[in-house]
Amino acid sequence: MLWLLTELGYRGTVSKSAFFEYVKSLRKLGIPFGHQRFQTKRGKRLALYSYWHLIELATVLSLRVYHAVPDAVLRGIAGYRGKLYRLYQRAYAERCSGAGKPIVIVTEDCEPVELRGLYLGLDIVALA
C-alpha cells in the first residue's frame, strides 16, 4: 500500500521512513480505518487495507499540500467515513456514465486533458 501511494506521488520528496511514520501517525488518529482493522501475525500487528482505505488515505494525503492537516479535518473524515465510502463507491461505479461536469486541465507543456466523472469536493475553507 505504501508502495502504491508512493507511485501515485503522495510521498512527495520526503524519505521512505518519514512517509511510513506519517502514515503510521494517521493510523493512530483513526485514518483510514480506526483501530479495529489490525491482524496479529507472528507477534506483529498488521493493517489490512481495502480499496476504500486507500481512497481515504489518498484524500488525506492530498490535503498535505496545505502543509498540515488539522485534527478537526481528520476527525471529520473519520466521522463521516460511512457517507464518504458511499460517495467513493458511487464515483467509482459511475466513472464512465457521463455523470458529473467535465473538467478541462490546461498546462503550458501538454495538450488539454478532459477529466470526466464524479469528484469529491470537501469544500474546506481556511479561516483568516
> pLDDT tens digits, residue range 11-51?
888 899 999 898 888 888 888 877 666 666 777 777 778 88
How much is the pTM? 0.65
The whole-number average pLDDT for the span 78-103 is 84
Q: Which one has a higher pLDDT value, 128 or 28?
A: 28
String of b and e for 32-60 (b: at least 16 CB within 10 Å)?
Answer: bbeeeeeeeeeeeeeeebeebbbbbbebb
